[in-house]
Structure 1
């Protein structure tokens, strides 16, 4: 008679009990904290934290700075621990976290788009974060405190504050923000404390007069102009020093008091008011005379040719009056818009429309000596790219800031004004997935554009030159990269007026930030690419590019389809080491895109089968439409974006906080 196997039964029972204990903390929370710990370089002072697994909500295995409710992480407070590294890319998995505080550390990199989506308090103050405020903050409807003060954030604030009704405290102080205050500030109806000190904000502050709840306002040490609205002067705590306020009394009828430092008297005598009214009338008349003179000069001035897209999507040239030479981009007038032939009335209507929507440009002017020093005298170790338009170098500054410098061949521009005109146009291209220009250098024989630098390099490097296991690209991330790039192209093709052709769409021009969000580079440089076959390289050129004049916006769509193929398969666009029939990625994979059985076989092995089959099939359908031989059959980029959004919605982990948005939601139309 066999003996009972009681020890085995006991072990099984114990295993079951242990399994329940291990599962106390939600797995998504554990994974997000694992990534955060690794991204912060696994600091030993974070007691209990682990790079893999663990149970932060277990009373016996608590993690420093982590609070839980039942099985969910609810608060993370890691302030003042001298932490380094960055915040990683998976914080959006922390669905129940309401407080996230990593203030007063040494964290760097860009603030990730993937933040905990249901935050009430977000405190990133006192670090070395770069870039801007991620748009995902605009979706945090319960947010009450936003503190990003004392970092290295820069650029203009986007209109992202319309849906934050509970925000009561916002601190943006001691950064490098610039440009006008966004009009969406007026929707912050519960805002009590606002600190903008120590930035480079410009323009008026009228929008703040609409915030009746303000009790503490600090505007010190910016570049604000105009008059301080009288409503703001009634705020209990108001600081306004260190700006460029207008002196004297405000024009009559305007709800603005005297400027800071001027007389506090609200009553100005009639003589002063009359003088101001007369001055305004004269100014208007002078402006009208100047405008008429400019229009007359346009009919007789020499012109230069510039590249643009006509309504059919074909490339054309158009005459454009050259800019006057100028020492700073701030003082450069907008370039004449690239119009097709039109009568004077149509020209005047279009010109007036463009002036209404255009804002003054604010870019940093760099000297060639400064950039030379920041790149180690253009040392080869700082070279990060080389192409048709020049070389790209990494510039490092003592404060930790890192920039990318595109250095053009000295013969690329005949005059400084031509280069400044190009920079002016490119600076108008503002969309979250377009690599943003932040400055320029225009000296004799020295023409350089200064861009944001993205820590993860290009998509080409990530897919083809890195270890799949040390740098994995999950299915969700691949779809997000494709969608972000598609939205950048949608913006160029369908939102900019006139449409902007790119002409150099390839994976090496899709840059990835710290959170693996895409940023399309080389936008606005199409006229450098006379022969797309040469600039694009093998594998990306559509069939119609046998004739350079045959390149259209639909050619951009084809090249984008090739990038999607790279994301799907992990293969290069063209690989001479493969057998003959597999060298061209389009020719090899396209016949298999409609075959569900074959599709799984061509999917990148690095995915290890971890993808939703329906989303994979839909992704493949979009590719098949984009790489069709006939340009007329390829979809517009707005349709591509819509289809890819559907792929994301079918992936559970990306349904919320995935960093995806409509291009039309985010971007202002740029006429240039």
Structure 2
């Protein structure tokens, strides 16, 4: 909008104040129109656009950057700077939906129906969606478990795709769901018991699948539209369902004659007579006795093997109690204790191809580990000799059969799901001999357009990585379009869980333990950057990718998988990305340093890198914390309250100094990881010297130390 000179002059000469008000209001509206779309939304749409093969019909869309709300991208509706609706139905779109839909936290309406999208439905969908329509595409796989957490969902249509497998028991929290359409797929098995929780459901379409069993679980739902035709259902149709006006039950194997008493109860057929009741009671009693005997056996076995660090029971989404190493002295080189996982493995039973003689000579395993494996801590000749010794170690990853992994993960059951990330889901694999491994099932869409041999190259690259603070690759699986990596399993979970998901019964990580985690992680990154040749850029450093062993030593995961993030480099969660990471070519080793600085900030403050529930100035951790890192009073207020003041102020100050160096906006100003390691080692050395200088009668409180 343009204002002519006389109008402005008129206002300046004292013309009616209402004119000035109008000008100011219009100016504010123009400024608001120029407001940039929230960066997580932009990033998610960039990835989505690239994953759909950058269709030209999506006018305004870009594969990097842009302003969807301000520039009116096709099919996008916004409220303020947030994307709220995505309507791209019937456009003949192909490819996949990408892996960042979970960043679209304000999207309530998501319609991608009547296209040619393929691959598995992303397990990360817009988390607060009310309406999701992905019908009439070519999606494969199963219904994503993340839907179970969409508490506001009212409409879900996944019909007319190529979905297979049994429905997971995942509908218990979807009390607002009104319409569910899973028709014309290849879904099988019994209907999940959690269907009984769909109290608001009025329309259910399950026709043209391969479902079996009864439909008794639907008996008490308040449905007015039900279609279960052309399946393999058996039993009787509950009388309550027969009253539905719009009902189609054709094409099933229903039982004839009157239904026995209780057969229409939700959840399964009842018992028709007292004889059957007695049998049922007997079976229940026997089951309880058998279960009790198993519990006693497991307890006895666990008591006789106190060194075992594997979980014996499924504890999905449950936090665990632990006792941090509050009194353990931080040693000079701060390396973890010798690994026990190789010793626990049985090469014969797991078919692991290991040169055991070479393994014993490896400098990273034994009574004393190679100190950080870096040039900074060794002479050139010593470094070269140890590195050559490491390279002589023979360790080849094992090819696991898909059938074996399906058996060990209970066919990748929900109860075995232990994590989800930008690359894929991670499942716990349990074997009969007690071994427990972690299976990373890589998203199939990430292999679109790639050569088949690329996965083998990735496995070879990761297999060559050996460091005490990096998760070991035990094997891989590449069958029937599935690509999986098998790693060691850590009972203690990730650093993210301890910092951000702790409940009232968990104890916080002590300051010494936090410093040790930072130093171990820094050494792992230093190994990737300065020991590996060529250097490896991680591209996914975040607290959820740092696992803790039984002694709370850190193990960095996802190493060597940066190739999957080449398309956008926007793989990290909000708050971890360095400012320069707007395109793949801009991502460097110094970008990893920035991400590690953010992890250090998490250790210092206990805050998440980005938290939309905080006041706007505090939402981005780096922006909020950076100006305060050199102010003593402000720094004291920033420290994680969970530490309850039990930390040495000078140690915290030096820790903050290192953070400030890592999260600088200019990549060239950030230090190399070897310097970060040296700074943290000096911090630990001061801690050790002060502890050795304690008098026998000192209190031992953390604030007594001055380091």
Bigger relative contact order, structure 1 or 2 (CA pairs below 8 A, ≥6 apart): 1
TM class by smaller structure? 0.3 to 0.5
TM-score w.r.t. structure 2 length? 0.46
TM-score w.r.t. the length of structure 1 is: 0.48
Larger Rg: 2
